Amino acid sequence: MKRLDLNTLITLILCFICFSFIILPILHLFTGLEGESFWASVRDAEVWSAIWISFVAAGFSTVMGLILGVPTGFLLARRRFRGREFLESITNLPIVIPHVAVGIILLDLLNENSSVGSLFSRLGISFVDTIYGIVAAMCLVSISYIISSSIMGFRAVDPELEWTARSLGASPWYTFTRVTLPLVFPYLLRGSILSFARAVSEVGALLILAYYPKTAPILLYERFENYGLKSAKPIAALVILLSLFLFTLLVLTSTPKRGERDVS
Amino acid sequence: MFLKARIKRKLPHFTLDLYLELRPKDYTVMIGPSGAGKSMTLKILAGLEEALDQKVLLNGKDISALPPERRGIVYLPQGNSLFPHLSVFENLLFVFKARKIPINKAFLDKVIDSFGIRHLLKRKPQNLSGGETQRVALARAICANPQVLLLDEPLAFLDFHLKLELVAFLQKLPTEYQITVLHVTHDPIEAALLAKRIYLLRQGQIVFTGNFEEFLREAPEGLANKDQVADIPGYARFWAKALRE
């Protein structure tokens, strides 16, 4: 029998602790859950409304992040210009700034008395306590994931492949859509999943800018504040189950199927 | 003369400054040590890199300002240039789709059989051997129906027997497909096996032009130094002498 050396043993133990750290709290939540209160949450219309708002707003935020973040990632990955590294570090700012501070910044910038806020309000868009505010806050706290994944993706594509495509007769647009983008797609998908996950779980900025309409984390926070742990736990379990289901679905649809790599 | 090109480009340690001519349906090998400017020459000819000054005439027509896709010149880079997200067959079809031209099935079938890749059509490039990859890449380049094919070290990283196998396919390019070929390498054996005409490139300058016999007789030797135990003509002469003996 193969004997474990000390290095492998230490690695395995650390790995076990790491997985336990991730999984045990979730398991603990489900094992301590009362069936009756869980089913009450499942039947609670306010819970479903909050979950719906969370997922729809996170979806819009991710799409907006892709529209703005992919061209930005492309530019930062492919063009050489002065200040590129500085701009690249700025794209990570939203991860560094505490999210309550993000909420305060956005409230200050987008309230209807500010110049930017009044400009939007003339277009009928208000950010305080509206779905627009939720999407704006979610997008700001999560767009960094899409930008960094795009940068990594565009840098990972070998320019020789794009040159080959051009030389074989492809226009720059055809090369981008049929060679570059498919190769960057796994990176964009990963960035989108992370961005969506970050957006769904956002609380700090929403507490300040858009408490209403309530998203699932805001409702969770409110139930915990008003009624305590027992009332918040079933909703937490439901949100976790739905998130796990959604992310498993995304991961399964984005992973190459067995045999797809080689169909011969 | 089929293709005439004068190109000038500043490189980190020297200036690439050369004039070359390719005859129709000739197999020309540009030989030179690593870093002599061979790959850059191909990329400039293909329109993929800018030059300080360039004049590229193909059949008398100035193509210097044309984008790569409209030059009629196909460039095959060193290493695996197959699109990894497409199967071998999709890689071949890419050429027709990119040019928005109908798929010439008879021609495609001829190329597939000629390069012996029918059994590979459904595979993804990552599941091909080095020799198979290069055969598919050549077949794909031929599907683009180029007037000139630029090959950047197509035999690099291949075992000796795979090199010989691929040489047989490369020899078909001018005869069977009427393609003018410029092949760059640092290996004089490839030149011996394939070249009708040889250019010797050193530090961005062409220092010799001629056939292989003339190359053995006349090509000037470069200085051997600690990084370069023997210059290419010296290396070629050594092996030619050894084989004769």
Rounded average pLDDT per 10-residue block, chain B, 245 residues: 89 92 94 90 94 90 94 92 96 96 94 94 94 94 94 89 89 92 92 92 91 85 56 77 76
Task: Return all residues near B19 (Cβ < 8 A) that are at least 6 apart.
Answer: B4, B5, B6, B206
Query: pLDDT of B31-82, one tens digit each?
Result: 988 888 999 999 999 999 988 888 999 999 999 999 999 999 999 999 889 9
Amino acid at B143: C
Residue B192, token pair as written in the block: 């011996």
Torsions phi, psi of B69, nearest 5? -75, -10
How does residue A252 score in pLDDT terms, banded at 50, 70 and 90? confident
Selecting from A160, A161, A168 the residue whose C-beta is nearest the C-beta of B98 gives A168
Q: Do A207 and A100 meet the contact criterion of CB atoms below 8 Å apart?
A: yes
What residue in A sits closest to B122 (Cα-Cα)? A264
- The answer on pLDDT for A7 being more than 80 is yes
Query: pLDDT of A129-168, one tens digit each?
Result: 999 999 999 999 999 999 999 999 999 999 999 999 999 9
pLDDT for the residue A144: 96
Q: B98 and A164: CB-CB below 8 Å?
A: no
Report yes or no: B76 at the A interface, CB cutoff 8 Å. yes
Q: Do B153 and B29 meet the contact criterion of CB atoms below 8 Å apart?
A: no
pLDDT for the residue B225: 54
Question: What residues form DSSP beta bridges with B123?
Answer: A262
pLDDT for the residue A182: 95
Selecting from A161, A170, A262 the residue whose C-beta is nearest the C-beta of B69 gives A170
Check: complex ipTM more than 0.90:
no
Q: A262 and B73: CB-CB below 8 Å?
A: no
Q: Which residues of B touch A163 (CB under 8 A)?
A: 43, 46, 48, 68, 75, 77
Q: B43 and A163: CB-CB below 8 Å?
A: yes
Instruction: Classify the phi-psi angles of A159: left when phi > 0, otherwise alpha if psi is within -120 to 50, otherwise beta.
Output: alpha
Q: Which residues of A touch B179 (CB under 8 A)?
A: none
- The answer on pLDDT for A216 being more than 90 is yes
Q: B95 and A168: CB-CB below 8 Å?
A: yes
Name which of A157, A168, A187, A261 to mutate to probe chain B: the one with the most chain B Cβ atoms within 10 A of its Cβ.
A168
Q: Which residues of A touch B75 (CB under 8 A)?
A: 163-164, 167
pLDDT for the residue B224: 57
Name which of A166, A167, A258 to mutate to probe chain B: the one with the most chain B Cβ atoms within 10 A of its Cβ.
A167
Query: Could you give the CA distance from residue B54 to residue B32 in angstroms, rounded to a whole number?
Result: 21
Is-cis flag, bond preceding A213, omega within 30? yes
- The answer on pLDDT for A215 being more than 90 is yes
Average pLDDT, chain A: 91
Please choose, from the candidates A98, A158, A246, A82, the residue with its C-alpha nearest in 3D space to the C-alpha of residue B79. A158
Give me the mean pLDDT over the A243-247 stretch.
84
Q: What SS3 class is residue B19? A: strand
Q: Do B147 and B180 meet the contact criterion of CB atoms below 8 Å apart?
A: yes
Provide the angle, in degrees to the nearest 10, between the axes of the packed helices A131-156 and A181-200: 150
Query: Could you give the CA distance from residue B3 to residue B20 in angstroms, rounded to a whole number?
Result: 8
Selecting from B81, B99, B119 the residue whose C-beta is nearest the C-beta of A169 gives B99
How does residue A93 score in pLDDT terms, banded at 50, 70 and 90? very high
Residue A143, token pair as written in the block: 């767009």
Q: B144 and A169: CB-CB below 8 Å?
A: yes
Report yes or no: B85 at the A interface, CB cutoff 8 Å. yes
Query: pLDDT of A22-68, one tens digit each?
Result: 999 999 988 888 888 889 888 999 999 999 999 999 999 999 999 99
Question: What residues form DSSP beta bridges with A149?
Answer: none
Q: A178 and B123: CB-CB below 8 Å?
A: no
Query: Across the beta sheet with B148-152, what order do the strands follow?
Result: B73-76, B148-152, B180-185, B27-31, B197-202, B205-210
How does residue A260 score in pLDDT terms, banded at 50, 70 and 90? very low
- The answer on pLDDT for A261 being more than 50 is no
pLDDT for the residue A264: 34
Report yes or no: B119 at the A interface, CB cutoff 8 Å. yes
Query: Could you give the CA distance from residue A27 to residue A60 in angstroms, rounded to a whole number?
Result: 31
Q: Do B93 and B128 meet the contact criterion of CB atoms below 8 Å apart?
A: no
pLDDT > 70 fraction of chain A, expressed in percent and rounded: 95
Selecting from B48, B85, B120 the residue whose C-beta is nearest the C-beta of A166 gives B48
Name which of A80, A164, A175 to mutate to probe chain B: the one with the most chain B Cβ atoms within 10 A of its Cβ.
A164
pLDDT for the residue A71: 96
The distance from CA A142 to its chain's CA centroid, rounded to whole angstroms, is: 5
Strands (E), A13-116: none
Q: Which residues of A touch B182 (CB under 8 A)?
A: none
Query: Could you give the CA distance from residue B62 to residue B57 in angstroms, rounded to a whole number?
Result: 4
**Location of structure tokens 């409209």:** B70
What residue in A sits closest to B82 (Cα-Cα)? A161
Longest dimension (CA), chain A: 75
- The answer on pLDDT for A263 being more than 80 is no
